[in-house]
Structure 1
Amino acid sequence: MRIIIYNFKLLGTLFYHKRSKTESVELVSALVEEYVLENETLDALSVLEPEQHDHDFSALFEGMGSMPVPPWGSVYLDKEQVLFGESNTQYRLFLQQHGIELDSGQREPEDQFGLMLLACAYFLEQDQTQAAFDLLGEHLMPWGSTYLEQLRDKAPNPFYQRLAADVIKWLDTLIQQQRINVVKKKIYLDE
């Protein structure tokens, strides 16, 4: 389980914490060594200019400008496609029931993709395996696959496109291996 925790932490960091290109290369290299990401994903990151890396991270995960693919669950699960929607409220209650109250120092929805991966790692570290699996099956993956598919198709550079494709495969494999039941929920997307 330690390897899975490690992988969740590294992936969560890639999707949530802005890092320099050099730091991102180190994270991606570690995930390639763990067979989570492909060598081609590392190659796509390696050729990316540092300024482009920084800009694209901000556009994809911090809400700078027009976001091609919002990383928050309520955008996909709530009919109004808003932040802090009903699905975020349900997720917040789930976290509180398990003794977690998010305080990142800024007002932000808890249902950010990378932040949810980090929460999975936390639960697993605390030997709350069922809570981690419930988080995946009930709160993250009902919309996570759609999000990753959108990211794969709309990301502004091949690195994030490949990252999304690799993470889809890794999460699908984990869900199958651990026999996690993913709840079907209606996805709202502007087509």
Structure 2
Amino acid sequence: MPQKDVFLGESLLSNLTGHLKKICPEASVFSVKMENNILKYSNEDLSVEYAKLFVGPYELKAPPYGSVYLDNAKIVMGDSTMKVIKLYEEEGLRRDSNFRELPDHISVELEFMYFLIYSEVEALKKADITAAKRYTERQGAFMNEILSKWIPLCCEKIKKGTENDFYTALADCTSVYLKNSLKS
């Protein structure tokens, strides 16, 4: 759940904007909007909207789980979830028993992409070109086979499901960054 003081106190959004200006200027436009728009809302407003979009209690307006978009049954923990669990395990990753989110939650899948990128960088530092190439290939496969197949749909649902400018900018920032990543 978003906590305004964390976003502002640790300069998360301004840091995001700074990095995006270097790697994806098109997305930085929306991170600036996120930074400006978060000021318009209270923590309670942000939390209520977050719950409406991603938690429930009844209908999720924008389910943050890949399986809802990727599997025909449109339920969590489907075949696509098992696929990402297998990918995590192939990299030697195990789920922390204290972590309560599902393996195909957007935050988990994006963290896995970060892991692959970090691993590539570490391999390059060691001049292990074979390992670096493997991680690059894994990134491309994960992006093309998983992330690009459902995150744009989730972003569209966020935009349709809210009038909150912070979440609209978040959806735009995410989808523009993803689209840009697919080009490169």
Whether these two folds match at TM > 0.5 is: yes
- Pair 1:141-2:141 in alignment: no
Q: Matches of 1:168 and 1:175 in 2, distance apart?
A: 11
1:21 equivalent to 2:4? Answer: yes
Q: CA deviation at 1:81?
A: 0.9
> Structure 2, unaligned stretches of length 5 or more?
22-26, 121-134
Q: Report the equivalent of 2:129.
A: none
2:2–2:46 Cα contact (<8 Å) kept: no
What does 1:26-175 align with in structure 2 at a 5 Å threshold?
26-34=11-19, 35=21, 36-38=27-29, 39-103=32-96, 105-127=98-120, 128-175=135-182
Give TM-score, length-normalised by structure 2.
0.78
Matching residue's letter, 1:23: V
1:53-95 Cα distance to aligned partner (Å, 9 max, x none): 2222333344445321100011111121111011111111121
Q: How many positions carry a matched residue from both structures? A: 160
Structure 1 residues 122 and 104: CA distance shift in structure 2, 3 A: farther
Q: Let me know the Cα RMSD of the aligned residues.
A: 1.9
Tell me how far apart the structure 2 counterparts of residues 103 and 37 of structure 1 sit (CA, whole Å): 33
Give deviations 1:129-168, integer Å, cap 9, x for gaps: 3222222111111111111111122135111111101211
Report the Cα distance in structure 1 between the residues aligned to 2:12 and 2:137, rounded to whole angstroms. Answer: 27
Give the deviation of 1:107 after TM superposition: 4.8
Percentage identity across paired residues of the two chains: 22
CA distance in 1, matches of 2:98, 2:51: 18
8 Å CA contact retained: 1:71, 1:147: yes
Amino acid in structure 2 at the alignment position of 1:135: F
Note if contact 2:62-2:154 (Cα within 8 Å) is conserved in structure 1.
yes
Distance (whole Å) between structure 2 residues aligned to residue 102 and residue 130 of structure 1: 23
Pairing 1:5-16 to 2, within 5 Å after superposition: none
Give 1:109 deviation, angstroms.
2.1
